[in-house]
């Protein structure tokens, strides 16, 4: 087990500590604050994201503490007063975490995680919260795109060697599995997170023998029940497929075994896969699958299938594990309310870039579903004290067209955020990875509009606001014009 | 300490285990093999890379072992015979690792790491070797580009929140520091790897107070000696810089302190930095620095400096920690020789793509330097038994122009790979991170041709071969035409 019981509490930005000290010295340590974690754009110009990483976030928060060594480090580096060091010595997260269930389909500008805690606690978890959610949401979302491109064919995640270090490989495989891949090559991901690990053979195996046939023969003898052969070490058509068929006929079939698959990792994959398919079929080996690897992603897979390449399974490496085409998921963590005189005061962050203006206040996030189709109609942000009554017609504001209020009837409304940690205690039963995976699948197949699933110019999901939430935002924006003054 | 004493032995691709079992069952477990780790293209079409990650690779290899839990996992998952499980129970890496010193400037198609070990040991370390070297080399190289773009100005690495999980943040900061950044925001990177951690304040800090002035005042009171202010929360020119100057005059300067810096994180950074510089200078605060952040990389920094933006320091986040413009470093691990009848037989990997053909055999990598200038002239690959004699003129082959042999005189020749681990024991003194950093700097300033440092169309470093090495490759290529036959 690689990833259990690591204390990641020291993984934070230095400014979180120095701000915490300033809050402490200014007597603000018990001031309650609310922060939202949300993002602004779907990667790859897609239509949705898959929220992931909640399980690791919970592990981190529940284990958060500073050791004697950490306190010594703080003393030496920051010269904090001893009263603050004592505070850190006793530190635990005692606040409340709300989040959408892991695997929830999410959209820009909606809170994936909301933290309500004293401002020091809320501040010290910023980096870990963001990097956990950003990384896994990025990879789960990329995986989902690749899986959908393969239209039901098997996808294996093969990217560990190009991942951005150890966790990126192991936890990346977890996120990819949530996003829909069928398996990973990474053994530790099965051991730590129950992602099924699988694989074939490498070119070096073939080269370690005097010739290709001997290598295939050796592998078939050791794995008669589970024989997968890599056929592009020398020449796919001139030798690889011929030797694979010969081994099937001479070693496997006489003993009642079948060759499970052949893998091609280089060359013109559309052309080669067709020729290999024909050779296999001609040898009465229609059950032998063709596995393709080499810089696959949703675009290349789409292109291969468009060309009619008879591929059964794809090994996907670097372009998945780094989300190569969009390697950054820009989740942010913004203050939306802060306590003053015992009340939570909503806060807004203005910006010269209009799309960077935040949605203020401690909110609720709802998803409205059509009663007749089950499709999700839109998301709605409301203030915390609002309840959407399904029995009535519901009027709300599209913030992009605020001049015309909108009406929905015949809907169900679900509050998407659950209370995960309450006053420092876990109050939520974390789902298994199989449950998370099934939840993703169910939403993609039954709740999303097919127009949101397109790779090119997908439908932009509606994220609306209640009239009260919208008015709050407008009021605060007007007021914020003067916040720099004093 | 987050990263000490992790056992990463289970971080491997499943096929490494299944191949290992096949080698074991076929009586090949003691067969010696030689693998080279090298890459084929510089990221961002650059002129060089900085090899990094050796320290973590050594840690991993020296600690490599399988626990009882791991053995149970293997038994349940793979159904290996007990004799192989016993072998794994006693497993340790007993082979030899050669590598270029960490921080060495390297070029495509030269071995960064060479492994000589029995084929099972050499195979089981493949994933960890590659991902460690790939990740850190990628980030160190990207950092070097960004640092050079800043032409002596300070670069702070701020990317943890967008990193691909925990290690990518912490070890990524280590690699960025090797590449030349001056500091990181990530506290754990200082604690674990002695990368200086630093930071300013967040927008949330400003918003946690009733107005901007009160926030600045509070920060200045707590940090009079080390006051850095973020001035773009409301309006840089209308309020941010005015409040910063007012706090400097009212809180800091009366007590003999100075405002250290102001940071701008949004808006038109070229325009704003000039206006802010003027305001600071007019207030007799020429010593107050301007820090800029917001999606910086080598291209944006170059553009800002070209516009004459008076910036002293850059905070660089997601585009460094993910190497956004080229997030994949394509290091590979290829078999180059294998024992047969007690002899090491050189092996070559053919490919339909000519640039993917490997350099066969257990080799040496040399760098030749001009005696008069100290500049590196070229790299040379030789067979293992060759020695380049500096006292004589040296004839070698440019593999891109093999028809004309080349001559060098008046040179020194340095063998770049050192023996790091010999028969499983560390025989090399690992340098400190400051020594690695200094080594990088020395090479960039004194050894590289300036033409290799260009961002646009840099000079392609010569990687030549000895006549003997070149002839070996030609002979094996001719022979490989028949390797698929038997």
Q: Do B484 and A191 touch (CB under 8 A)?
A: no
Q: Which of B185, B127, B167 is nearest to B3 (CA)?
A: B167
Q: What number of other Cβ atoms are within 10 A of residue B375's Cβ? A: 14
Smallest Cβ–Cβ distance between B480 and the set A13, A132, A234 belongs to A234
User: Which residues does chain A have within 8 Å of residue B138's beta carbon, measured at their own beta carbons?
Assistant: 164
Chain A residues whose CB is inside 8 A of the B69 CB are 1
Structure tokens at B231: 């001035």
CA angle B261, A38, B164 (to 5 degrees): 75
Whether B477 contacts chain A with CB within 8 A: no
- Band (pLDDT 50/70/90 cuts) for residue A479 is confident
Residue-wise DSSP of A119-174: HHHHHHTHHHHHHHHHHHHHHHHHHHHHHHHTTTSEEEE--GGGSSSHHHHHHHHH
Q: Which residues of B touch A190 (CB under 8 A)?
A: 77
Residues of B in contact with A142 (CB under 8 A): none
Return the structure tokens found at B387: 């020695």
ipTM exceeds 0.90, yes or no? yes
- The alpha carbon of residue B251 and the mean position of all alpha carbons in its chain are separated, in whole angstroms, by 43
| Chain pair A-B, CB pairs under 8 angstroms | 354
Q: Determine whether the interchain pair A327/B330 forms a contact, defined as Cβ–Cβ distance below 8 Å.
A: no
The closest of A336, A348, A338 to A476, measured between CA atoms, is A348
Q: Give B-chain residues touching A11 at CB under 8 angstroms.
A: 2, 160, 166, 169-170, 186-188
Element of type H or E holding A229: strand A228-230
Q: Which residues does chain B have within 8 Å of residue A6's beta carbon, measured at their own beta carbons?
A: 2, 6, 166
Q: What is the mean pLDDT of chain A?
A: 95
CB contact under 8 A, B160 and A13: yes
CA distance B486 to B482: 8
Q: Is A319 at the interface with chain B, CB within 8 A?
A: yes
Contact assessment for residue A458 and residue A136, using Cβ atoms and an 8 Å cutoff: no
Please give the pLDDT value at position B352.
75
| Residue in A136, A351, A485 nearest the CB of B239 | A485
Mutate which: A8, A14, A32, A113, vs B, most B CBs within 10 A = A14
Are B473 and B359 in contact by the 8 Å Cβ rule? The answer is: yes
Q: Tell me the two tokens of residue B185.
A: 């925001």
Query: Is the Cβ of B110 closer than 8 Å to some Cβ of chain A?
Result: no
A85 neighbors A71 (Cβ within 8 angstroms) = yes
SS3 state of residue A118: strand
Q: Token pair of B440, please? A: 């990088």
Distance CA B186, CA A206 (A): 44
The whole-angstrom separation of Cα B204 and Cα A129 is 16
B199 touches chain A (CB under 8 A): yes
Q: What is the mean pLDDT of residues A314-323?
A: 98
CB atoms within 10 A of CB A57: 25
B167/A contact by beta carbon, under 8 A: yes
Cβ–Cβ under 8 Å, residues A151 and A65 = no
Using H for helix, E for strand and C for coil, what is the string for chain B?
CCCCCCCCCCCCEHHHHHHHHHHHHCCCCCCEEEEEEECCCCHHHCCCEECCCHHHHHHHHHHCCCCHHHHHHHHHHHCCCHHHHHHHHCCCCCCEEEEECCCCEECCCCCCEEEEEEHHHHHHCHHHHHHHHHHHHHHHHHHHHHHHHCCCCEEEECCHHHCCCHHHHHHHHHHHHHHCCCEECEHHHHHHHCCCECCCCCHHHHHCCCCHHHHHHHHHHHCCCCCEEECCCCCHHHHHHHHHHHHHHHHHHHHCCCCCEEEECCCCHHHHHHHHHHHHHHCCCCCCEEEECCCCCHHHHHHHHHCCCCCCEEEECHHHHCCCCCCCCCCEEEEEEEEECCEEEECCCCCCCHHHCCCCCCEEEEEEEECCCCCEEEEEEEECCCCCCCCCCEEEECCCCCCCEEEECCEEEEECEEEEEECCEECCCCCCHHHHHHHHHHHHHHHCCHHHCCCCCCCCCCEEECHHHHHHHHHHHHHHCCCCCC
Please choose, from the candidates A456, A463, A465, the residue with its C-alpha nearest in 3D space to the C-alpha of residue A47. Answer: A456
Quote the crossing angle between the two packed helices B82-89 and B14-25, to the nearest 10°.
120
Best mutation target among A11, A27, A212, A227 (most B Cβ atoms within 10 Å) is A11
Residues of chain A in contact with residue B239, where contact means CB-CB under 8 angstroms, are 483-485
| For residues A33-52, average pLDDT | 98
d(CA A141, CA A134): 11
- Helical packing angle, A126-149 and A166-179, nearest 10°: 50
* Beta strands at A261-264 and A228-230: parallel, antiparallel or unpaired: parallel
Residue B218 has phi, psi (to 5 degrees) of -60, -45
A28 and B126 within 8 Å at the Cβ level: the answer is no
Question: Does residue B131 come out as left (phi exceeding 0), alpha (psi in the -120 to 50 range) or beta?
Answer: alpha
Identify the sign of the CA torsion B298, B299, B302, B305: negative
| Alpha carbon distance A331, A39 (integer Å) | 4
The contacts of residue B450 (CB under 8 Å, 6+ apart) are none
Q: What residues of chain B lie within 8 A of the CB of A21, using their CB?
A: 222
Radius of gyration over every alpha carbon of chain A, rounded to an integer in angstroms:
27
State how far Cα A348 lies from the chain centre. 27
**A271 at B interface, C-beta within 8 A:** no
Per-residue pLDDT of chain B (486 residues; tens, 9 = 90+): 666 568 899 999 999 999 999 999 999 999 999 999 999 999 999 999 999 999 999 999 999 999 999 999 999 999 999 999 999 999 999 999 999 999 999 999 999 999 999 999 999 999 999 999 999 999 999 999 999 999 999 999 999 999 999 999 999 999 999 999 999 999 999 999 999 999 989 999 999 999 999 999 999 999 999 999 999 999 999 999 999 999 999 999 999 999 999 999 999 999 999 999 999 999 999 999 999 998 999 999 999 999 999 999 999 999 999 999 999 999 999 999 999 999 999 999 887 778 888 999 999 999 999 999 999 999 999 999 999 999 889 999 999 888 888 888 889 999 999 999 999 999 999 999 999 999 999 999 999 999 999 999 999 999 999 999 999 999 999 887 776 665
Chain A residues inside the 8 Å CB shell of B238: 484
Q: What is the pLDDT of residue A409?
A: 87
The answer to whether B363 faces chain A, any CB pair under 8 Å, is no
pLDDT at A363: 98
- B319 contacts in A (CB within 8 Å)? 328
| B195 contacts B433 by C-beta, under 8 angstroms | yes
Do the Cβ atoms of A363 and A383 come closer than 8 Å?
yes
Verify whether the Cβ–Cβ distance A12 to B318 is below 8 Å. no
Measure the CA–CA gap between A57 and A362, rounded to whole angstroms. 21
Closest to A52 (Cα-Cα) out of A195, A179, A170: A179
Q: Write out pLDDT tens, residues A379-423.
A: 999 999 999 999 889 999 999 888 888 888 889 999 999 999 999
Alpha-carbon span A150 to A471, nearest angstrom: 45
Which of A214, A219, A319 is nearest residue B486 as measured by Cβ atoms?
Answer: A214
Of the ranges A1-15, A27-41, A222-236, which one carries the lowest mean pLDDT score?
A: A1-15
Distance in angstroms between the alpha carbons of the first and the last residue of chain A: 55
Burial group, residue B97, by CB count within 10 angstroms (0-12, 13-18, 19+): buried
Q: What is the sign, positive or negative, of the torsion defined by CA atoms of A7, A13, A17, A19?
A: negative
Residue with tokens 């015979």: B81
> Is A65 in the B-facing interface, judged by CB distances under 8 Å?
no
Looking at chain A, the whole-number percentage of residues with pLDDT higher than 70 is 98
Domains and CATH numbers, chain A: 14-139+327-480 (3.20.140.10), 154-320 (3.20.20.70)
* B161 closest CB neighbour out of A131, A213, A240: A131
Instruction: Write the DSSP symbol of residue A462.
Output: P
Q: List pLDDT tens digits, range A264-312.
A: 999 999 999 999 999 999 999 999 999 999 899 999 999 999 999 999 9
Classify residue B159 as exposed, middle or buried by CB count within 10 Å of its CB (0-12, 13-18, 19+).
buried
pLDDT beyond 70 at A2: no
Nearest to A166 by CA among B383, B347, B212, B53: B53
- Cβ separation B222–A25 shorter than 8 A: yes
> What is the structure's pLDDT at A480?
78
Enter the DSSP assignment of A13: B
- The C-alpha atoms of residue A90 and residue A185 are separated, in whole angstroms, by 41
What pLDDT is stored for residue B34 in this prediction?
Answer: 98
Structure-token pair, residue B352: 């339909």
Cα separation, A106 vs A416, in Å, equals 10
Residue A369 pLDDT > 60: yes
| B407 to chain A, closest Cα gap in Å | 35
**How far is the C-alpha of B54 from the C-alpha of B428, rounded, in Å?**
11
Q: Which positions in chain B touch A191 (Cβ < 8 Å)?
A: 10, 70, 73
What pLDDT does B226 receive?
A: 95
Contacts of A137 in chain B (CB under 8 A): none
Contact B201 A167 (CB under 8 A): no
Q: Find out whether A32 and A119 touch, Cβ atoms under 8 Å.
A: yes
What is the Cα–Cα distance from A100 to A417, expressed in whole angstroms?
4
Asked if the C-beta of A286 comes within 8 angstroms of chain B's C-beta atoms, the answer is: no
Q: What is the pLDDT of residue A352?
A: 75
Interface mutation target, options A165, A237, A245, A264, chain B, most CBs of B under 10 Å: A165
Q: Please tell me which of the candidates A132, A186, A211 has its beta carbon nearest to residue B483.
A: A211
CB contact under 8 A, B12 and A187: yes
Placement of tokens 């500096």 in the chain: B390
């Amino acid at each position: 087990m690689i990833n259990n019981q690591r204390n990641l509490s020291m993984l934070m930005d230095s400014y979180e500590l120095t701000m915490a000290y300033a809050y402490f010295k200014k007597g603000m340590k018990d001031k309650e604050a609310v922060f939202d974690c949300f993002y602004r754009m779907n990667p790859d110009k897609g239509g949705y994201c898959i929220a992931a990483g909640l399980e690791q976030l919970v592990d981190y928060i529940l284990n958060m503490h500073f050791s004697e060594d950490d306190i010594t480090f703080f003393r030496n580096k920051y010269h904090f007063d001893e009263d603050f060091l004592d505070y850190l010595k006793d530190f635990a997260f005692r606040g409340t975490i709300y989040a959408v269930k892991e695997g929830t389909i999410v959209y820009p500008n909606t809170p994936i995680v909301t933290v309500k805690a004293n401002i020091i606690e809320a501040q010290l978890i910023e980096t870990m919260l963001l990097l956990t959610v950003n990384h896994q949401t990025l990879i789960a979302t990329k995986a989902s795109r690749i899986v959908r491109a393969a239209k039901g064919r098997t996808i294996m995640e093969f990217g560990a060697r190009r991942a951005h270090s150890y966790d990126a490989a192991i936890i990346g495989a977890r996120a990819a599995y949530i996003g829909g891949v069928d398996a990973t090559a990474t053994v530790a991901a099965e051991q730590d997170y129950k992602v099924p690990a699988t694989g074939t053979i490498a070119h070096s195996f073939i080269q370690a023998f005097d010739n290709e046939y001997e290598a295939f023969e050796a592998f078939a003898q050791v794995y008669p029940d589970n024989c997968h052969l890599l056929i592009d070490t020398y020449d796919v058509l001139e030798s690889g497929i011929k030797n694979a068929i010969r081994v099937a006929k001479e070693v496997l079939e006489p003993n009642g075994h079948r060759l499970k698959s052949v893998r091609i990792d280089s060359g013109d994959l559309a052309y080669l896969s067709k020729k290999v398919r024909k050779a296999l079929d001609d040898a009465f080996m229609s059950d032998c699958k063709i596995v393709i690897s080499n810089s696959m992603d949703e675009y290349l897979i789409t292109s291969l299938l468009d060309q009619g390449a008879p591929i059964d399974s794809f090994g996907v490496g670097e372009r998945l594990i780094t989300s190569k085409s969009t390697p950054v998921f820009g989740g942010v963590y913004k203050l939306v309310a802060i306590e003053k005189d015992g009340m939570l005061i909503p806060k807004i962050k203005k910006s010269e870039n209009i799309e960077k203006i935040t949605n203020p206040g401690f909110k609720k996030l709802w998803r409205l579903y059509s009663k007749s189709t089950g499709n999700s109609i839109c998301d709605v942000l409301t203030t915390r004290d609002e309840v959407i009554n399904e029995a009535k017609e519901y009027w709300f504001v599209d913030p992009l067209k605020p001049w015309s209020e909108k009406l929905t009837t015949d809907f169900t409304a679900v509050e998407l955020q659950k209370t995960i940690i309450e006053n420092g205690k876990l109050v939520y039963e974390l789902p298994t990875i199989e449950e998370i995976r099934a939840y993703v699948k169910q939403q993609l197949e039954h709740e999303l509009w097919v127009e949101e699933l397109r790779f090119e110019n997908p439908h932009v999901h509606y994220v609306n606001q209640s009239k009260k939430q919208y008015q709050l935002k407008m009021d605060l924006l007007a007021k914020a014009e003067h916040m720099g003054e004093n």
